[in-house]
A and B are shown apart, each in its own frame.
Chain A
Amino acid sequence: MDTPQPILEAQDLRKSFGTLEVLQGINFSLLPQEMVFLIGPSGSGKSTLLRCFNRLEEPTGGKIIFDGVDLMSPDVNINTMRQQIGMVFQQFNLYPHLSVTKNITLALRKVSKKDSSEADEIAREMLKRVGLEEKANAHPDELSGGQQQRVAIARAMALEPKVMLFDEPTSALDPELVGSVLQVMQKLRDSGMTMVVVSHEMRFARDAADRVAFMSEGQIVEEGEPGAIFENPQQKRTQDFVSEISR
């Protein structure tokens, strides 16, 4: 059996803010159709790592290889690459001045250069997938947080990315709205989407993830199947974190 090629790789990735080194040489690789959770205490660098993957954060050293392309190379058109790397944010970040449909179609029209009827058709399809067809003409401020986040997921999915990055997608939600977003993520996972998720939803991580990477102080301390990480962590820092969160 061939070893599958990773779709996304970080090699000795470093990021400093001033004198503070928040990523201290990260090596990480993601296989197609994998769902990996990045967990760890706040300030451990997991969001920064995620944001380096599409260069919303500029790494100060190391490499990011996406689909065989070195994203740090000066020849790379980062805008083209970013279309293939969807991102979902903690604060949803929908465009408040545009309708739900227009939120989804903006990049389709302006970056993928699709005509508006085709873009609208894609938006309809994506809204159906996240269960919000009836909100096509609503504005973001008419939606609940959970609905906004599902629209944000639809917006990222519409570009048919090869990987989707989730930066604490449920952290800004009221507890009763978390479930609907996790459901959409589960469906996306079942459809074979490759995903990296920074999240504190440990139960979801345990149920859905293929792999969990535990980060602390700018390093990946330990990674493995969720069962191994949560039930039988090898490293002291992982053990401390796991016992802390399962209390």
Chain B
Amino acid sequence: MNTSETFSRWDLFTETFFNQRLIDEYSGAIAKGILITCEIAVLVVFTGIALGLLLAMLRSYRFLPINVFISCFVDILRSLPPLVLILLAYFGLPSIGFSMSGFLVLWLVLSLILAAFAEEIFWAGILSIRRGQWEAARSTGLGHTQTIVYVIIPQAIRMTVAPLTNRTIAITKNTALGTVIGVGEILNQASTAQSFSGNATPLMMGAIAYIVLFIPVVAIGRWIETRFAWRRI
């Protein structure tokens, strides 16, 4: 193998994945994609976790019809691939009069999926709290809602942080699915640029954008886990 051939292969590699001209040309588009991805991710995390917590709390009242509904909701959403739901909502709902933007569909679907997983995680956390905690609280006159809000959830949450962080990261990465319904998030911007330029550089830029975006999320998740870990009696 001679040096010039090695050199040209290296050139080909940088030309394909790190083309400086395309980096300059498309960095604006990728930046816009990052912004949109961040917006959806933040919205999904808040609505998904809040809804999941609410459902788990509702479930603790052990009112049969509501619990049947919650179980069905959770099992269906956990078993469907997110892409199927996204396509179904985006292309199906307009036919029955619900026309939503791609952004809205992506937010809604990912939130519901995160809520389903979060509900199961919170519920497992609630069940892990010893019965004595409920009894102590109820014996002082706290109602069911007060007991769950002030006594059970604060303890349960510490046990849910690790699985919840993992699940949240997994779901927020699914914002990339928005590309199929025209949401201008990172992957959408990158693949559009790729098809215009015929070069993989924008996709590489997208990949790097995801890493830059999610490494801090993973790090924050780890920090929260250590911060919330506390000695059990």
Contacts and interface: CB of A to CB of B under 8 A. Distances in A.
B141 to A, nearest CB: 4
A110 interface: yes
Given A93-B133, A96-B232, A106-B151, 9 more contacts: A54-B139, A56-B135, A82-B139, A83-B141, A96-B233, A97-B155, A97-B158, A110-B146, A152-B136
Interface in B127-183: 130, 132-133, 135-143, 146, 150-151, 154-155, 158
B231 interface: yes
Interface of A: 54, 56, 79-83, 85-87, 89, 91, 93-97, 106-107, 110-112, 140-141, 152, 155-156, 159
Contact of A80 (B137, B139, B141, B146): B141
Contact of B140 (A97, A107, A141): A107
A83 B142 CA distance: 9
Contacts, number: 75
Contacts of A152: 136
Interface string B49-67: 0000000000000000000
A110 B150 contact: yes
B206 to A, nearest CB: 42
B231 A141 contact: yes
Given A56-B138, A91-B132, A155-B140, A106 B233 contact: no
Contacts of A95: 133, 136-137, 151, 155
A110 B231 contact: no
8 contacts: A83-B141, A87-B136, A93-B132, A96-B232, A96-B233, A97-B154, A107-B137, A159-B140
Contacts of A91: 130, 132
Nearest to A104: B140
Interface residues of B, number: 22
Interface of B: 130, 132-133, 135-143, 146, 150-151, 154-155, 158, 230-233
Contacts of B135: 56, 87, 89, 93
Nearest to A95: B151
Closest 8 pairs between A and B when the two form their complex, measured CB to CB: A107-B140, A93-B136, A83-B141, A93-B132, A87-B139, A111-B141, A82-B141, A79-B141
Contacts of A80: 141
A93 B233 CA distance: 10
Contacts of A140: 233
A93 B137 CA distance: 9
Most buried by B among A85, A86, A107, A155: A107
Nearest to A109: B150
A95 B147 CA distance: 11
Nearest to A102: B150
A53 B139 CA distance: 11
A5 B143 CA distance: 30
